[in-house]
Structures are given as structure tokens and as C-alpha cells.
Amino acid sequence: MERFTENVITIIKSIPHGKVMSYGQIARVARNPRSARQVVRILHSMSKKYNLPWHRVVNVKGEISMEDEEFFMTQKTLLEQEGVTFKGKNKMDMELYSYQPVDEWTI
């Protein structure tokens, strides 16, 4: 497994209950800031295998990016169960819910 992939998995697993990170933020913390799409690929291909809290990853605007209605509702429900509230259908306050690792470069 590539180092970037290992870092992404570690970062996603570290997102606490009730907090979120964006795809780009995860890529930056994993030391490859231009790889947000790779984070998406890792989430889709490895969430089940590594039991990743995939629902805690959103886009930079604080919105759920899922186009499939069932997955969208699953993600929204899981986040709401963790105390995340939404403005409108799918937007959350990133200043309030964004997880900021204390030391981004320890990964």
C-alpha cells in the first residue's frame, strides 16, 4: 500500500465523533494537497475493508457530496446521530464541525 493511502486511512480513522473533514483537507494533512480526488477513490474502495467513518468526510463547502439519494440520506442520518446539524437540506457549519488535527505533520 502506498504511503499516501496509509496516511489517508489513518487520518479518516482519527476524525472524532461529531466532526468532519473535507476531501481536500485530508489530502493536505496526508502531504499531497492536490489529491482530493484520490481521497475520494480511497474512501470508495477501502471504507468497508478498513471500517472507515466515511460519513465524516464532506466537501469543502460543508455539504454532503453523495448524488445517490440513499447514500445521501445514510450519511446525513449518521452525522445527525453524532450531533451535526444542517442548514437547509445538506449544508453544515464547517467552522463548528471541522476537525483540525493538532499536529497535521505527525502522520
pLDDT tens digit string along 14-25? 999 999 999 999
Instruction: Single out the residue of 63, 87, 93 nearest to residue 75, CA to CA.
Output: 63
- Please report, for the chain, the start and end positions of each structural domain, with discontinuous segments joined by +: 3-106
Task: Give the Cα-Cα-Cα angle 94, 61, 92 (nearest 5 degrees).
Answer: 45
CATH number of the structural domain 3-106 = 1.10.10.10
Q: What pLDDT is stored for residue 103 in this prediction?
A: 60
For residue 12, give every residue at least 6 positions away whose Cβ sits within 8 Å of its Cβ, in sequence order, or none.
21, 26, 43, 52, 53, 54, 56, 57
Q: What's the pLDDT tens digit per position in 19-66?
A: 999 999 999 999 999 999 999 999 999 999 999 999 999 999 999 988
